[in-house]
Amino acid sequence: MSSEVRTVTASDFPDWVKAVYRGFLMAVTPTDEDVADRLSRMELARLQGVFDAGRCVATFRSFDQELTVPGGAAVRADAISAVTVAPTHRRRGLLSRMMAGDLAAAKERGDAVASLIAAEYPIYGRYGFGPATWTAEWEVSVPRAGLDPRRSGQPEDGGRIELVGPDEVRKTGPELHARLAARQPGVVTRDEQWWKMHTGAAFRPAHEPWTEPFYAVHRDADGEIDGLLTYSADDKWGDAKQPQNTATVRDLIALTPAAERALWHYLASVDWITAVRSGYRAPDDLLPLLLPDPRAARMITNADWMWLRMLDVPRALEARTYGTEASLVLDVRDDAGLAGGRFLLDASASGARCAPTTRSADLVLGVGELATLYLGDESVRRLVALGRAEELRAGAAGTADAVFRTGRRPWCPDVF
Ligand SMILES: CC(=O)SCCNC(=O)CCNC(=O)[C@H](O)C(C)(C)COP(=O)(O)OP(=O)(O)OC[C@H]1O[C@@H](n2cnc3c(N)ncnc32)[C@H](O)[C@@H]1OP(=O)(O)O
């Protein structure tokens, strides 16, 4: 096969977009306007394609992303998306070639990690990725939740909920998100384009028409906005003329538990709404336990979400803070030769030093397992039980859990 992996040029771009659509089973041809819009937003140097007999048969995109790690600092990630290989060219190693090229370039740039949202679980482990955040979605039966139906939608602690328009969201959303990013591990960059796309101010292709949602903000007792809820509602009525409408959360970010509680209680108090779909939350989200009867919240999704791949172990591990002060020697195995080695981690609650060492290892683990531990979501003892990490010094797995794990689970609110 003559197909070669190469960087995409402006003249390849329309065919590249068409290939992405095909790969994601969208049976539409992108319009000129759609192609021009995407071209204006994407960095060609970070797009790869495979061209066979003049047609694009495989696509791959990466871009710079900031990822919040425990402690609130951010590392630069090589975010990967638009990965497709045409059905006629699958299982010939095209993804493997594009991935190898992209990860090598990211390593050379000095990115600490690579990140992606996996379409299917089995695809990316072989490239050294591991699931670093999980997600959960709930459907709440409002009549069963035990909330007082006579309550107004307003909190009783001095805060207040206000309905706002998209202009207000574009104005206040980025700062609110920046404050969330400074405290929530797993949060990734939302640029100006993100806010435009999610408030109806950006171009949308005809097959993905915009529908206007409702926007509500929470103000604390001092009047400062500390929460934002974006939701839509359907229009469903029973035969006996009872409302049976579902509200679906598109986005809910809250800086305080009070704001979070107020926004969920607000949504469950909207007349005609009998069910609330939560959208993708952290698996330990407060939602179910904020309801007098948590069984009213049925978990409908529980799955891996953002996957990470370590590219520079010392840089990544030095960026975060840890649960306790301890020293660990980690022997990190990486078949691709990008990030493996034996590292001494001197961890503490305020940061860490991490450097290559010749000391004997306390734990041996794959680079994908380290990615799974990185944001605090996984237990080393669980990985040992699964045979995916090995404890060479008795008690090292327990120490590593005390070091790596976080009290709350990481959460990536976005798809990219
Ligand atoms: C970040 C994102 O964009 S996620 C979106 C991923 N894209 C999709 O899901 C769209 C539909 N799927 C596809 O386009 C393709 O099947 C891809 C991109 C997932 C895989 O592309 P391919 O070129 O076929 O992968 P490649 O040939 O390099 O596969 C390498 C190995 O991964 C395995 N593999 C690839 N895809 C899958 C899969 N979906 N499930 C299980 N194993 C897989 C292959 O069997 C192969 O294994 P082997 O080395 O043991 O033989």
User: Domains along the chain?
Assistant: 4-111 (3.40.630.30), 136-304 (3.40.630.30), 312-404 (3.30.1050.10)
- pLDDT at res. 43: 97
- pLDDT at res. 2: 59
* Residue positions annotated with a catalytic role: 124, 416
The residue nearest atom 38 of ligand 1, judged by CA position, is: 123
Pocket of ligand 1 (CB under 6 A): 23, 80-85, 90-96, 116-120, 122-123, 126
Q: What is the pLDDT of residues 21-57, one digit of tens each?
A: 999 999 989 999 999 999 999 999 999 999 999 999 9
Owner of token pair 């992303």: 65
Closest C-alpha among 309, 341, 236, 275 to residue 62: 309
DSSP-assigned beta bridge partners for residue 237 = 243
How does residue 149 score in pLDDT terms, banded at 50, 70 and 90?
confident
Residue 64, pLDDT > 70, answer yes
Q: Are 215 and 228 in contact (CB under 8 A)?
A: yes
Residue 337, pLDDT > 60, answer yes
State which H helix or E strand residue 297 sits in: strand 297-304
Nearest ligand 1 atom, CA 61:
3
Torsion of CA 20, 26, 29, 32, to 10 degrees: -60
CA of 3 to the centre of ligand 1 (A): 17
Q: What is the pLDDT of residues 210-241, one digit of tens each?
A: 999 999 999 999 999 999 999 999 999 999 99
CA of 59 to the centre of ligand 1 (A): 12
The residue nearest atom 48 of ligand 1, judged by CA position, is: 91
Give the ipTM of the model, two decimals please.
Answer: 0.97
Q: Are 315 and 75 in contact (CB under 8 A)?
A: yes
Nearest ligand 1 atom, CA 90:
24
What Å distances lie between residue 315 and 49, 112, 343, 368, CA to CA? 30, 6, 11, 16
